[in-house]
Amino acid sequence: MLSRHQDPIAAIATAPGRGAVGIVRVSSPQDLGPIVQAICGRTLKAREATYLPFRSATGDAIDQGLALLFPAPHSYTGEHVLELQAHGGPVVLQLLLARCMDAGAEMRVRLAEPGEFTQRAFLNGKLDLAQAEAVADLIDASTEAAARSASRALSGALSEEVGKLRDALINLRMLVEATLDFPEEEIDFLEQADALGRLARLSAQLDRVLDRTQQGALLREGIKVVLAGQPNVGKSSLLNALAGAELAIVTPIPGTTRDKVSQTIQIEGVPLHISDTAGLRETDDEVERIGVARSWEAITDADVVLFLHDLGRLGQPDYEAEDKLIAERLAGVDPGRILQVFNKADVEHGQDLAPGSMTLSAKTGAGLDALRQRLLQQVGWHATPEGLFIARERHVQALRRTQEHLAMAHAVSIQKPPALDLLAEELRMAHDALGEITGAFTADELLGVIFSSFCIGK
């Protein structure tokens, strides 16, 4: 897409389907006067909505609506932008889009690719990369907290935090690299400038930003939770209880659930993607066997695995043996991702439970609130959404690489004498890793991946 970013582009900017209003958007580095004249039959005042008929090539009205012209650079993309607001019928909008393409044929107007309007906003300096990603995150937000945090990131909250880190890092780099020119005075100079203190303060600041970014990534990505265990331990009942709806079939017959049943709920604004899976057991039923295989795949990919047990069957030899087999197979999963949950707390039992395990009743709802809080704790959630900005896993990884390079820089700086060339190189790599977040140092291939996930017209 980068090689074509000088082409004029057009697209329907509103969601597919019928609606009261639909928008067709055109963006171009070139003047849009010929298209405006052809469709509107007159010139338009900048940034002023004008109600008029949209004309076809024969002069007939396609529709009547509002036309707005945003001359460069005062537009979303930083280019000349024309927005036509018509009635939101799919046929009307397709006709209007085709008319834009026809009227702009000499300018070689083409259909926009996914995310290309926002990509141009990034390329033209209207948004940095973190803000551009926040546009898509705001559209895709599945909870109110995620939407608020995405809006905060779009306004530049994440970029501002990264900018403060970058400025402190640049000052430290300048200090170290200037010292390289005076090797006979390097140690005294660094000590007088408190280089180690600056590095320590920068690392502490980075840790705080990384923590907030990890919380923001949880708001965006959510938590993948898998309910696992033997048949008839109450997995489907627990899914229904957490979701507050009858999503999964519940019967006393073992093996009722044969495939993965998923639902997204929210806890304190954090999306929780819960999957009820087939009961884990050996079976001759081909369909159920496929379901069990899919259960194990889901377990491998989960952030948290709720290993569900039946309090009413504890102590039964066959049940205990099957549970032991499942536990042995779960030994390959990070123990920090497994939460032992004992269902049917409303049933009398005299068994000692494993430390750290939880009891609940999917039938009565007892213990569900405690489980919700434990799930958040399990993935490290501790922040209040009001202070957060939405973030992506790539932001977290970039900050972690920055953290690693600063740790190496500290190790080099305390050597006697310090290897200043290595120190300068670690600080440079930390700077590059930070730059990936806002797009200061980003490969074209990554830009293509990021913007291709946007909807067309945005």
- Which of 118, 112, 122, 89 lies closest to 17 in space, CA to CA? 89
Q: Are 458 and 9 in contact (CB under 8 A)?
A: no
The predicted pLDDT at position 23 comes to: 97
Q: Are 219 and 153 in contact (CB under 8 A)?
A: no
CATH class of the domain defined by 135-218+389-452: mainly alpha
Query: Which backbone phi and psi does 275 adopt, to 5 degrees?
Result: -125, 125
* Fold for the domain defined by 221-378: Rossmann fold (3.40.50)
CATH 3.40.50.620 at 2-127, yes or no: no
The predicted pLDDT at position 182 comes to: 61
Q: Are 323 and 338 in contact (CB under 8 A)?
A: no
Task: Give me 136's structure tokens.
Answer: 């898509």
Q: Which residue has the tokens 């970029």?
A: 159
Q: Are 99 and 49 in contact (CB under 8 A)?
A: no
What is the residue type of 387?
G
Task: Say how far apart CA 205 and CA 214 lie, in whole Å.
Answer: 14
- Which of 267, 228, 277, 226 lies closest to 244 in space, CA to CA? 267
Alpha helices in 124-258 (DSSP H): 129-140, 144-154, 157-179, 186-192, 195-221, 235-243
Per-residue pLDDT 10s for the chain (458 aa) are 445 778 999 999 998 888 899 999 999 999 999 999 999 999 999 999 999 999 999 999 999 999 999 999 999 999 999 999 999 999 999 999 999 999 999 999 999 999 999 999 999 999 999 999 999 899 888 888 888 889 999 999 999 999 999 999 998 888 887 777 665 555 565 676 788 889 999 999 999 999 999 999 888 888 999 888 888 888 888 888 887 755 544 444 444 444 467 788 888 888 898 888 766 656 656 666 666 777 778 888 889 999 898 888 888 888 888 888 888 888 888 888 899 999 988 776 656 777 788 999 988 889 999 999 999 998 888 866 557 888 999 999 999 999 999 999 999 888 877 788 898 899 999 999 999 999 876 556 566 767 777 777 77
The predicted pLDDT at position 1 comes to: 43
Q: Are 231 and 224 in contact (CB under 8 A)?
A: no
Residue boundaries of the structural domains of the chain: 2-127, 135-218+389-452, 221-378
What is the residue type of 32?
L
Q: Are 26 and 109 in contact (CB under 8 A)?
A: yes
